[in-house]
Chains A and B, each alone.
Chain A
Amino acid sequence: MRAVLSPRRQQRPDEPAKRTGSAALAERVFRIRESGIVVVLAVFVACTAAVQPRFLNSANIQFVLIDTTVFALLALGETMVVISRNVDLSVGSVVGLSAYLATSLFGQHPGIPIVVVFLAGLGIGLACGIANGIMVAAGRVPSLVVTLATLYIIRGIDILIVGGKEVVAQSLPSAFLEIPKATVLGIPDLAIAIAVVIGIGAYYLRTFRSGRDLYAIGSNPEAARLAGLPVGRRVFTAFAVSGAIAGVAGVLWGAQYGTINSTAGTGYELQVVSAVVVGGVAIFGGSGSVVGAALGALLLSTISSALYVLGISPFWDQAIWGFLLLLAIALDQTITERLTSALRKRRTRHA
């Protein structure tokens, strides 16, 4: 195959330049989406640190990173769903249900291995995700409606089970509560683990057919069907994975906060969707990356923390999030338009 290409290069000396030219353009734009977040993040950190140097002490950095982990993990599952032109609004409720049910196992079965608790959380989340996936993929109900319904249903079940009770830190083994606290060279172990998981997720979406199919489905669902892609199965899988991830995130949430009642994880779904969109994942599917979504989560956590450190009212927190969301969507639109017109001009063929 390489041999085929080489003579062509010799015949058309102008070809390689163009190839790399438009490839580089596309590449560059994809990087812009992620590097844009990094720039915003850097500016934000620099400004905050200038006003309040305490912001950059290691305790606060650890706090932000830990705060990001649950969030970034949820963003991973959500990204898979959003890329396929769907949305999963039930993740917050799944976090709540899984956090309570899984961590209450410690009280019910003293000495139970921590791994089993995580597996229980995963199973609970998977069950919720499967329910979402069946309704969206087989029932052909819009995911916005399905997951809005399960958001309330799962929260309702949670409240029914939990009632006024709560899991308290005293009932949890200290090894469990230590999970978010362990560090290597000042970086929380958990943050490293999550970073690895996100790396695996990014690699999967990029390198495996089932991952690329999600992009194809989100980019043009009708064409995906005409191309014979297993649209229903892929979308179902995305929801199942998102649910399972939310289940695990719920257990982590429990380890982080120690006290779990029926309000755990309330409102997380919108924060996660915000992180995903701010992270450059197109809300109508087809493009974006898990890494970007994780960076989006990091940016939002950083903002919350910065406002806290600066002593600004949490009201601004939400307002700034909303502003960032608008900015991200506007930016996305602009980039898409620019890219389209740039690519039009860069037609590799001449009429």
Chain B
Amino acid sequence: MEVARLDAAESQPGSRTDAGEGQPVLALRHATKSFGAVRALVDGSVELRAGEVHALLGENGAGKSTLVKILAGVYQPDSGTLEVAGREVALHGPAAARAAGIAVIYQEPTLFPDLTVAENMFVGRQPLRSGRRIDRRAMHDETAAVFKRLGVPLDPARIARGLSIADQQVVEIGKALSLDARVIVMDEPTAALSAAETGRLFDVIRTLRDQGAAVLFISHRLEEVFTICERVTVMRDGSHVLTSDLAGLTAADLVRAMVGRELAERPPEAGADTPGDPVLTVDRLTSEGVFTDISFTVRAGEIVALAGLVGSGRSEVARAIFGIDRYDAGSVTVRGQHLRRASPVSAMAAGVGFVPEDRRQQGLVMDMSVEQNVALASLGRLAKGGLIRASAERAMATDWAARLKIKYGRLTDPVSMLSGGNQQKVVLAKWLGRKPAVLIVDEPTRGIDVGTKAEVHHLLAGLAKSGVGVLMISSELPEVLGVSDRILVMREGALVAEFSHDSASEEAIMSAAMGQQVAK
């Protein structure tokens, strides 16, 4: 494989003008990337032309972020080729990507809060004067000139701390501009912006496009994609699905391409019998800037799914209900009993269990044994005179391990030795041991193999049958559709739709989550 050195690629004069309709300014072909056993990218392909804004779409976990990090030089692909201006390049690091004319603007801007705006823009490549000293005046003047070009009055001399997200992004865009980047990748730049700020960002993007840059624009908001982009590439499950002109496509087409998979057959356990009394009532819960006016109930024997895109506020609602995070207004009631705000102890006493999203960090104590983890939430009951009885702990763990079919070597082994699926069962056992009235599960099957996944689904259904109210957060639509009786959809911190088990479809949920009305 012939790989051109970057300096060679860069020293090719006029490469920008060469890259017209025929030759793409950047082409990633069939890139793959695995992390251990997880195949994050199976077939990542994208082609950008000079002077276009190109949308990259896909569900959570479709591989967009991995692709972006490959373009940024942060990850090196396991296989596949990357061409910049017709020359094959290998990006060994972020500096190499920068030298190749690729600038990446991350969802979370990566500024240095203690440095000035101008320093942020020129970090690592400040203009120099005699003796390799930094020429501050030139740096500030060039920064001011870039802001003028972008039409934003930002002060180059102020430090970056305290800049709004929108202004931080402007600084990042300015950095890309001053680098003379030919390719600008924007990973969900509008996620944290207001409508007015988004409008201003679009003006900037149009300016960049008209100056000949290729912009890769990633967003979950389809209306934005239709506003600003000319072409689109859709990814699903780590693979390229389609690349096309946007003209002639509808939002429904895009959603279908993103969801795409065969509609999952519904597992038999879905659609429980008549649900009982409400066990969890959430009333007008609001946490400023995170979620607003969330009201719903979960009845005994019911599985309610909370769907939505990552970042729509689902996990935050769950954390507020369980009392991990503080909320500003509203109330949470469990079996008629008001929960104290920001008090997990109160939530547990009322009969709420919480299986968090990140089981390694939040769900388990990885260095403690299987039996200790199982017993962790029931210590009060297992203790006698303030001392924890190891025998009671062991008995409880043995019982639950058998009931949930946990596969383990010895109960005294550290829980970190179990597989992901069995670890998740340990977390479930920990809460089931308390006989909860309400169980909140956040992404209960993330990173779990198919077989165990089905077992977990079965377990949740069984729990509901026994009268527990289950609130499940999940990004996997087949899981949401298959397991739950009702589906609530969140978008940007608000509840936007509710579906019954029978009226729900993947398209309908995705459209609601992305704020689109899809014509049936």
Contacts and interface: CB of A to CB of B under 8 A. Distances in A.
Nearest to B136: A207
Top 10 A-B residue pairs of the complex, sorted by shortest distance between their CB atoms: A228-B95, A343-B162, A223-B110, A1-B141, A286-B114, A219-B112, A23-B157, A219-B114, A228-B94, A287-B114
Given A22-B157, A343-B158, A343-B161, A1 B142 contact: yes
Interface string A257-299: 0000000000000000000000000100011000000000000
A12 B147 CA distance: 14
A286 B194 CA distance: 30
B462 interface: no
Contacts of B115: 212, 215-216, 219
Interface string B116-137: 1001000110101000111000
Contacts of B162: 339-344
Interface of B: 72-74, 93-98, 104, 106, 110-116, 119, 123-124, 126, 128, 132-134, 138, 141-142, 144-145, 148, 152-155, 157-159, 161-164, 167, 194, 196-197
Contact of A286 (B113, B142, B155): B113
Nearest to B158: A22
Contacts of A209: 124, 126, 128, 132, 134
Given A5-B144, A22-B157, A343-B161, A223 B95 contact: no
Contacts of A18: 155
A213 B124 CA distance: 7
B155 A2 contact: no
A351 B132 CA distance: 40
Contacts of B97: 228
A15 B112 contact: no
Contacts of A339: 159, 161-162
A12 B163 CA distance: 21
Contacts of A2: 141
Interface in A205-219: 207-209, 212-213, 215-216, 218-219
B111 A340 contact: no
A15 B197 CA distance: 21
A282 B159 CA distance: 15
Given A208-B132, A209-B124, A219-B114, A348 B155 contact: yes
Contacts of A228: 73, 93-98, 124
A1 B145 contact: yes
A208 B126 CA distance: 9
B142 A229 contact: no
A15 B153 contact: yes
A292 to B, nearest CB: 14
A223 B111 contact: yes
Contacts of B124: 209, 213, 216, 227-229
15 contacts: A1-B142, A12-B153, A19-B155, A22-B155, A207-B133, A209-B134, A212-B119, A223-B110, A227-B124, A228-B73, A286-B114, A343-B162, A344-B162, A344-B164, A351-B197
B134 A23 contact: no
Interface string A194-234: 00000000000001110011011011101111111100000
A321 to B, nearest CB: 26
Contacts of B133: 207-208
Nearest to A15: B153
Contacts of B106: 226
**Best-buried of B74, B112, B119 by chain A (most CB within 10 Å):** B112
Contacts, number: 124
Contact residue range for chain A? 35 or more
A109 interface: no
A28 interface: no
A228 B152 CA distance: 27
A73 B158 CA distance: 31
Contacts of B155: 18-19, 22-23, 348
Contacts of A340: 161-162
B204 to A, nearest CB: 13
A218 B123 CA distance: 13
A339 B98 CA distance: 32
Given A12-B153, A226-B72, A343-B158, 15 more contacts: A1-B141, A1-B145, A4-B144, A19-B155, A23-B155, A219-B115, A226-B94, A228-B96, A228-B97, A229-B124, A286-B112, A339-B161, A340-B161, A341-B162, A351-B194
A197 B368 CA distance: 53
A348 B141 contact: no
B157 A212 contact: no
Contact of B112 (A12, A23, A216, A349): A216
Contacts of A225: 94
Nearest to A210: B132
A349 B111 contact: no
B110 A220 contact: yes
A223 to B, nearest CB: 4
**Best-buried of A18, A341, A347 by chain B (most CB within 10 Å):** A347
B74 A226 contact: yes
A140 interface: no
A235 B482 CA distance: 52
B142 to A, nearest CB: 7
A43 to B, nearest CB: 29
A215 B141 contact: no
A5 B157 CA distance: 14
B126 to A, nearest CB: 6
A61 B163 CA distance: 46
A348 B154 contact: yes
A336 B111 CA distance: 16
A16 to B, nearest CB: 10
A165 interface: no
Interface in A80-108: none
Nearest to B161: A340
A4 B126 contact: no
Nearest to A223: B110
B114 A215 contact: yes
A227 B123 contact: yes
B152 A349 contact: yes
A15 B152 CA distance: 12
Nearest to B175: A227
Contact of B126 (A212, A222, A351): A212
A225 B114 CA distance: 16
Contacts of B134: 207-209, 212
Contacts of A54: none
A5 to B, nearest CB: 6
B95 to A, nearest CB: 3
Nearest to A209: B126
B177 to A, nearest CB: 15
Given A227-B94, A348-B154, A220 B113 contact: yes
Contacts of A346: 158
B81 to A, nearest CB: 22
Nearest to A22: B158
Contacts of B96: 228
**Best-buried of A2, A223, A286 by chain B (most CB within 10 Å):** A223
A31 interface: no
Nearest to A26: B159
A228 B95 CA distance: 4
Contact of B110 (A22, A26, A226, A341): A226
B355 to A, nearest CB: 29
A282 B162 CA distance: 17
Nearest to B162: A343
Contacts of B163: 343, 347
B74 A220 contact: no
Contacts of A336: 161
B152 to A, nearest CB: 6
